[in-house]
Amino acid sequence: MQLKYDWKITGHKVRIADLEKEILEQRLAHAYLFAGPEQIGKYTVAKTMAAIIQCPNDYCHECATCKEIEKGYHADTIEANNNEESIKIEDAREMLAKLNLSRSSKRKILLIKNLERMTIEAANAMLKMLEDPPDGVLFLLTTSREKAILPTIISRVRLYSFQRLPDKLILDLLRSLYPLMDPDLLAQIASFALGRPGRAVKFIQEPELFEEAKKLYNDVSAFVKNPDRLAEFAYAERVANLVKERESDMPLRDFLDTLTAVGRAKMLEAEGSERLKAVKLMREVRMAYDLAKNNVNTRLLLENLFLRL
């Protein structure tokens, strides 16, 4: 399908085409929530959408508006993109107050990356604004944990779900960005990215993260091939400690993503009873994903998962 604008994104063609159509037909909702796994380009889509809407020259990439939005300091495009910190009530009030200031652009746009970072008080403040939004204000929000968002907020936004990308698309992206790198290494990185192009790029920028991902894959493969309860429970404790230390469930999700990749590889290779075991593994992992969305105890979740494998 032919797109009018350069969205600076790999994949997600159907979702982007739908968004572009809404822009061109002037059928924009007052709020959007882009949901899906980390590092698949949701925030890039949101920021590009803001630039398309705000640019006075049909997204020219050259004007002051385009450049200011790209660098993150456009006065009428307010960003909260630091996903390492929670968004407290004071932060929410400050952002929302800016939306009521006079504007020189077409709209006031509020971009929030990982909306699940909001405390309950901040989320309630956001809800009030979504229920009665000021004229000319557009909310572009992203989340990697849709279940952590208040249902009342989700009911007041237009929800777009984004999925992981095939390895081939990620490999094509890496080849275009790093044409001089070893093709075999790029293929390996694309595979270990687990459908997340942002993760693949980060592996190249920070090679130690790639080494950690490979070690995690080998560890998980060993657990599946040769179960060892003591080692597995120790590993569950380690992941739980990382989640607590980082105040993020990313270590848990990385583990489950890797276990999914191991399970898929086993399904492709196995036959007969071994294939049935691989199918059971995938089913158990899907159940663990669902439980993880409900903020259950990480250690207990993993210990129970290991017992069922």
CATH number, domain containing residue 44? 3.40.50.300
How many other CB atoms sit within 10 Å of the CB of residue 135? 7
How many other CB atoms sit within 10 Å of the CB of residue 229? 11
Instruction: Indicate if 17 and 156 belong to the same structural domain.
Output: yes
Instruction: Indicate if 137 and 232 belong to the same structural domain.
Output: no
Q: Is residue 298 within 8 Å of 243, Cβ to Cβ?
A: yes
User: How far is Cα 242 from Cα 21, in angstroms, rounded to an integer?
Assistant: 43
Assigned domain for 171 exists = no
Assigned domain for 262 exists = yes
Instruction: Indicate if 255 and 157 belong to the same structural domain.
Output: no
What local confidence, expressed as pLDDT, does residue 263 receive?
84
Instruction: Indicate if 141 and 80 belong to the same structural domain.
Output: yes
Assigned domain for 101 exists = yes
Domain boundary pick from 161, 194, 215: 161
User: How far is Cα 199 from Cα 189, in angstroms, rounded to an integer?
Assistant: 9
E strand or H helix that includes residue 33: strand 31-35
Question: 42 is written with which tokens?
Answer: 């949701």
* Domain count for the chain: 2
Closest CA to 238 of 302, 309, 285: 302
Question: Burial, 141: exposed, middle or buried (Cβ in 10 Å; 0-12, 13-18, 19+)?
Answer: buried
Residues written for the chain: 309
pLDDT tens, the chain, 309 aa long: 689 999 989 999 999 999 999 999 999 999 999 999 989 999 999 999 999 999 999 999 999 999 999 999 999 999 987 766 889 999 999 988 888 888 888 899 999 999 999 999 999 999 999 998 888 999 999 998 888 899 999 999 999 999 999 999 999 999 999 999 999 999 999 999 999 999 999 999 999 999 999 999 998 888 888 888 888 899 899 999 988 887 777 888 889 989 988 888 888 787 788 788 888 888 888 888 888 877 788 999 999 888 887
Query: In this structure, is the dihedral angle defined by the CA atoms of residues 83, 203, 46 and 32, taken in order, positive or negative?
Result: negative
Backbone angles phi, psi at 44, to 5 degrees: -60, -40
* Strand partners for 279: none
What local confidence, expressed as pLDDT, does residue 1 receive?
66
Instruction: Indicate if 128 and 210 belong to the same structural domain.
Output: no
Assigned domain for 152 exists = yes
Look up the domain containing 273 and give its range: 206-308
pTM for the whole thing?
0.87
Domain boundary pick from 99, 127, 161: 161
Assigned domain for 186 exists = no
What local confidence, expressed as pLDDT, does residue 83 receive?
64
